Amino acid sequence: MLFAWICRDKPGKLQVRLDARPEHVAFLEGLNGEKKLAFAGPFLDADGKPNGSLVVVEAPDLAAAEALSAADPYAKAGLFESVEIRQWNWVFNTPAAN
């Protein structure tokens, strides 16, 4: 099953994001190596600066997706104001279709 993490940064925490980014990238690379990461990237504000994240992972259930999200270095650094985790169905332009 696929789960989307819709993460919103706390206002004024860009430096927290920048400081934790190397560990966050390594975390996502690890998920990718384990075939758990579908895709990921930041949301951007009007100035083009990151202010949140969209991460889609494969997990057996919601609890496992929540555990992965909690292990993200951004979450551990207290970057996020909110994290919504929703089951997601990839229908169009799937990797298998390309």
- What pLDDT does residue 7 have? 98
- What pLDDT does residue 71 have? 98
Domain ranges of the chain: 2-97
pTM of the predicted model as reported, rounded to 2 decimal places = 0.92
Name the DSSP letter for residue 12: T
Mean pLDDT of each 10-residue bin along the chain, 98 residues long? 98 97 98 95 97 98 98 98 97 80
- What pLDDT does residue 67 have? 97
- What pLDDT does residue 95 have? 81
- What pLDDT does residue 88 have? 97
Kindly indicate whether the domain formed by 2-97 is annotated with CATH number 3.60.20.30. Answer: no
CB 60 within 8 A of CB 1: yes
Alpha-carbon distance of 22 to 27, in angstroms, equals 9
- What pLDDT does residue 27 have? 98
Written as six digits, the tokens of 11 are 């206002």
- What pLDDT does residue 40 have? 97
Question: What is the per-residue DSSP string for 20-42?
Answer: HHHHHHHHHHHHHHTT-EEEEEE
CB 16 within 8 A of CB 79: yes
The angle formed by the CA atoms of residues 66, 46 and 52, to the nearest 5 degrees, is 10
| C-alpha atoms less than 13 angstroms from C-alpha of 25 in its C-beta half-sphere | 6
